[in-house]
Amino acid sequence: MAPERLGSARFLEAVATMKIARLAIDEAHCISQWGHDFRPDYARLGEMRVLVGSPPTAAFTATATREVLDDIVKQLGLASPRVFVAGFERPNLRLLVRRPGSVEEKLGMLDAALREAGSPAIVYAATRRTSRRSRRTSRGGGRTPWRTTAVSTPRPARACRTSSCRAARR
């Protein structure tokens, strides 16, 4: 789930009824106000952790300073956590940046890169629309399944113009 979901009272009510055995947090540096990519909704993960009974928790980040690591531990309320720090060298990861001339060329490059990777891959897209279009039109290098996901952002409420709509909202 995206931490932005924690802004929804309905979501928090549902989470409070769940039995969470383990909690894993990716991009944990976003929890810390001292991190380079602070996101306020990530700061609520500590509250959520308590709400679900403080399950064993793993928090992952590749970019945290010592100050940020300490803040992550504090924000999540972790008692004597084991902290593992490794270098940035990841021989199993590869970053490709290419500049296609057209959407068709871009999808062809995506298929070629996925075929070449020969293992699981993550493809980032700027928008949900682009992600869904890539999924529909790309062959994914011959792989299936292919999943898309995106950060949920609240949509502004639309004004009710009818009395039945206004009544339904009450």
pLDDT digits (tens, 9 = 90+) for 114-167: 777 776 777 777 787 877 777 777 665 555 556 666 555 444 444 444 444 444
Residue 97 has a pLDDT of 80
> How many angstroms separate the CA atoms of 128 and 150, rounded?
6
Contact, 126 vs 103, CB < 8 A? no
Q: What is the largest CA-CA distance in the chain?
A: 61
CA 50 to chain CA centroid, nearest Å? 20
Q: Which residue in 75, 27, 25, 77 sits closest to 54, CA to CA? A: 77
Amino acid at 90: R
> How many angstroms separate the CA atoms of 70 and 24, rounded?
17
Contact, 51 vs 15, CB < 8 A? yes
Contact, 29 vs 35, CB < 8 A? yes
> How many angstroms separate the CA atoms of 152 and 34, rounded?
24
Residue 1, judged by CB atoms within 10 A of its CB (0-12, 13-18, 19+), counts as: exposed
Residue 144 has a pLDDT of 56
Residue 134 has a pLDDT of 77
Please say if the pLDDT value at position 3 is more than 50.
yes
SS3 82: coil
Backbone angles phi, psi at 139, to 5 degrees: -90, -5
Contact, 94 vs 60, CB < 8 A? no
